[in-house]
Structure 1
Amino acid sequence: MPTSSLSSLIGPVLAPTMPEVRAICVSSINGKASLNGRSHGLGSPLDFELLNSLRQWSDCVLVGRKTVVSENYFGVRTNVGDKETRLLRGQSPVPPICVVTRSLDIDPNSQFFTDTSTPPLILVPENTSVTEHGRLLQAAGASIHEFSASALDKLHSLGFRRILVEGGPQLIGALLSQGSVDKLHVTVAPWIVWSDEASLLQGIEVTQKLELEHHAADEDGCVFLRYRVRK
């Protein structure tokens, strides 16, 4: 198996004006998506670099509320990524993180709001009532947007073309089921996790066969897979 580099793990990218949705996730050997409740416990330093590089490639990052809370998310910062990564975006602004949620139960004092260079977006289903807590999130810098059919459609309407989906497992599974993902990055970590952790992908309602575009490994024993999702 070939050794890995960031450019080979990311692979070819489309022009910035062309829409592309990529999803990224990490898994134990037996298909668990986290260790002690957090996906960061599974990944290697190169896996973290890949995540940051794809964030810099993207126009926005899409993630579910539960993942933001459980992973203690921080925003995307201007100093993340090496020279090669920054060249993927040219001089584009730092991408925002977009949270899709049916509730607004996020701590406005968390580092998700304070440790970022770009205010986050919150996507809620149509006719969701903006509560007093929601107004606290707006005061912390978040903008709240309603969507009707699809959160991805809403992001496209806001001008975002390159979208990175970071999880959790239910969000990625739902988007795969809908045929909304173009590329899937999977890191298989050298762990067997027997505790009651979430599975890699959940909520998939269709059987899908993916096309393997690239595979590699690092010195920490992680295997990196990049798939093209057949439409």
Structure 2
Amino acid sequence: MQRIDNGTYLTVNSDDLVELYAYPTDPGTPWIRVNFVVSIDGAVSQDGVSGGLGTDADKTVFAALRGLADAVLVGSGTVSAENYGGVVVSDEVRAARVARGQQPVPPVVVVTGSANVDPTAAVVTDAEVPPIVLTTSDAPEDRVRALTDAGVTVVRGGETLSGHAVKSMLDELGLYRVLCEGGPGLFGSLLEADVVDELCITTSPTMAAGSAGRVSTSDSAVDRPMLPAHILVDDDGTMLVRWVSNRTS
């Protein structure tokens, strides 16, 4: 993998990735980074899942991003579609996290207004660290009870889960380095609230066509200017760009 720097290609190693994708030293408030992989023609998935678009470079950066995060934020629909399990990190990454003052393994934080998470799903049963579910005050009591009985931490907010509400709940939990992995509806709500600090987008060297959607969806369009922080390319044509919000750059 190489970094494009003023027309020059510089080789990038694992230590470089940690530096390139480092969060602010002391965010003070949740810094929300979103990560997606798309095809050249903009498809967000193949056969209904994003994993089909993944390349070796994408998987390497994906692991690096998870290793740096305090929490992995995801919508319940994506948890189900992608069969999410808990985050797994290497011993080396675990040691680096502890040295930075982070927990050894980041939890998965699931956003769902109706507490719609199966207590027997892999995200609950196949996780070193129990997940956290962010939900509303109107979430069905039986679902909440089933999740708490399974060891899940359930945090209830107000009647809706806007992007502002999600950020506020993350703040209350002390989770400041946040990696959002989708889906498009959650990303859209965060964009509407203007709480997305950066987007890491991988363009897989393939065309997909089909009926796959885009990385973000919402009821209304928004305008959120971004600036490129760096561009990485791999020998197979994979391109990885880190975009930072114009208001936080």
What residue is the counterpart of 1:157 in the other structure?
172
Where 1:198 maps in the other structure, the secondary structure is coil
Return 5+ residue gaps in structure 1 as ranges: none
> Given the two structures, how large is their TM-score scaled by the length of structure 2?
0.83
The reply on whether 1:227 has 2:243 as its aligned counterpart is yes
Q: Is the 8 A contact 1:53 1:81 kept in 2?
A: no
Q: How far did residue 111 of structure 1 move? A: 1.4
**1:92 CA displacement:** 2.5
Distance 1:88 1:14 in 2: 15
Amino acid at match of 2:185: Q
- Counterpart of 2:152 in structure 1: which amino acid? A
Structure 1 counterpart SS, 2:181 = strand
Give TM-score scaled by structure 1 length.
Answer: 0.89
Q: Residue 80 of structure 2: which of 48, 63, 69 is its match?
A: 69
Shift of 1:206: 1.1
Q: What is aligned with 2:153? A: 143
Gaps of 5+ in 2: 159-163
Q: What's the counterpart of residue 210 of structure 1? A: 226
1:128 corresponding residue in structure 2: 139
Q: After superposing the two structures, state which structure 1 stretch, 189-198 or 104-113, moved more.
A: 104-113
Question: What do the CA deviations read for 1:135-179 (whole angstroms, capped 9, x no partner)?
Answer: 222222211111235111111011111111110112112212321
2:63 corresponding residue in structure 1: 52
Output the CA distance in 1 between the equivalents of 2:229 and 2:174: 28
Q: Deviations over 1:116-144 (max 9, x none)?
A: 1100011112332322x332222222111
| SS of corresponding position for 2:148 | helix
SS at match of 2:96: helix
1:65-112 deviations in Å (ceiling 9; x for gaps)? 0000000001113xx247368525525321111111122332222211
Deviations 1:23-72 (A, max 9, x none): 11111111111111111110112212222222221111110000000000
Total equivalences in the alignment: 228
Single out whichever of 65-74 and 15-24 deviates more from structure 2.
15-24
1:29 maps onto 2:40 in alignment? yes
Larger displacement relative to structure 2 (37-46 or 66-75): 37-46
Q: Secondary structure at the match of 1:128?
A: coil
Q: Does 1:15 align with 2:30?
A: no
Aligned to 2:185: 170
CA contact (8 A) 2:115 2:140 kept: no
Cα pair distance change 1:134/1:125, threshold 3 Å: closer
Identity of aligned residues (%): 31
- Secondary structure of 2:87 counterpart: coil
CA distance, structure 2, for counterparts of residue 209 and residue 47 of structure 1: 24
Residues 1:180 and 2:191 are matched in the alignment = no
Query: Cα offset for 1:16?
Result: 5.0
The residue type paired with residue 107 of structure 1 is: D
RMSD in angstroms over aligned alpha carbons? 2.2
CA separation of 1:128 and 1:104: change in aligned 2, threshold 3 A: closer
Is 1:40–2:56 an aligned residue pair?
Answer: no
**Residue 205 (structure 1) shift:** 2.3
Distance change (3 Å), C-alpha of 1:129 and 1:105: closer
CA–CA distance in structure 2, aligned partners of residues 217 and 81 of structure 1? 24
> Are the counterparts in 2 of residues 57 and 89 from structure 1 also a CA contact under 8 Å?
no
The structure, 1 or 2, with the larger RCO (C-alpha pairs under 8 Å, 6+ apart) is 1
Choose the corresponding residue for 2:92, options 80, 83, 87: 83
CA contact (8 A) 2:23 2:177 kept: no
